[in-house]
Structure 1
Amino acid sequence: MPEPLGDDLVLLFAALASTTQAEITAALADAGYGDLRPSDGYLVQHLQHGPVSIGDLAGKLGITAQGVSKTVIEMERKGYVSRTPAPEDQRTRLVDLTEKGWAAIYATRRARAHVNRELRAALGSGASAFLDQVRHLAENSGALAALSERRLRP
């Protein structure tokens, strides 16, 4: 006999992640970044410390260099990233964030902060205890380490 949906933590977390991501995506669209997809964030997270080669991005994302190149070309066309030759090897292309890419990051951070405030308000006085329990689950499952080390994959 299956558990009632309201008791299935995996489904509850998945549903919460889906609805909050939709709220953030809508806020980004309202801010002028409606052409960004949630999956673009997986690439962008690896560019925040400076330019990265296509090959290195592929390794970090666990996909092929061709797959990364396709995403980079699309994001470059939209103005979020740029590609330049590496100084030490002109055949290697380095991907870097543009001003528009950084602006989208800041807009995403603002949207996430807003959603976090709403969630905490909905929890009321129990927010701190709930966050401690969720953090405990994330630590024990390895999810927090994967997040901190930017190893989450689309």
Structure 2
Amino acid sequence: MRRGIHREHHPDLGILSARLLFAVQDELFGTLAEQGHTGLRPQHGAVLAYLDVEGTRATDLARRSNQHKQVIGKLVDELEALGYVERRPDPDDRRAKLVVPTERGLDQMTRSDAIMAGLEQRHAQAVGAEVYAEFKRVLHEVALRQRSWRDDHG
């Protein structure tokens, strides 16, 4: 059996997870654009997906999203220019800054949550609620194990 044919019919974890990620990003950011949130890119998810309503330190965003602080800083700059976030002093540590969603950012967060809930509901209906819940549980476990391996070896 040729390797290319095998990979097409039996994709590995990397290929499957990339396909899923890109398809979810396409739907999420495409729908957000249709709803007036143009200018956002999937890379902005490294900030937006991990941002707390009351604000989050950039170091926490970097840790949560597994991105370098410099990458997060660049993304925050872009999102600030687009009107989604602003930097404010952290009331717990005046030397630190919080990345806080603006009204536009809060609207995007609410819409993203609704889009993702609809996407998940659609998949749960297609394969069955129990199967989908088990899929998410196993996917979460695999992701944790892979991240643990990287932390131990990286």
TM-score normalized by the length of structure 1: 0.72
Task: Tell me which residue corresponds to 2:98.
Answer: 94
Q: Distance in 1 between matches of 2:141 and 2:69?
A: 32
Q: Give, in angstroms, the shift of residue 97 of structure 1.
A: 0.9
Cα 1:15/1:104, change in 2 over 3 Å: same
- Structure having the higher helix fraction is 2
Deviation at 1:73, TM superposition (A): 1.4
Aligned residue identity for 2:100: D
Counterpart contact for 2:124–2:131, Cα < 8 Å: no
Q: Aligned to 2:84, which of 56, 80, 95? A: 80
SS in 1 for 2:42: coil
Partner of 2:138: 137
Instruction: Work out whether 1:17 is the aligned partner of 2:17.
Output: no
For the 8 Å contact 1:85–1:94, the answer to whether it is kept is yes
Q: Which runs of 5+ in 2 are unaligned?
A: 148-154
What is the one-letter code of the residue matched to 2:8?
L
Within the candidate set 45, 48, 51, 1:47 is matched to 51
Q: Secondary structure at the match of 1:35?
A: coil
2:36 is matched with 32
Structure 1 residues 71, 27: closer, same or farther in 2, change over 3 A?
same
Aligned-pair RMSD on alpha carbons? 2.9
- In the superposition, the TM-score normalised over structure 2's length comes to 0.72
Q: Percent identity?
A: 25
Paired residues of 1:6 and 1:12 also in contact (CA < 8 A) = no
Distance (Å, rounded) in 2 between the aligned partners of 1:88 and 1:12: 42
Following superposition of structure 1 onto structure 2, how do residues 52-131 of structure 1 map, counting pairs within 5 Å?
52-87=56-91, 90-121=94-125, 123=126, 126-131=127-132
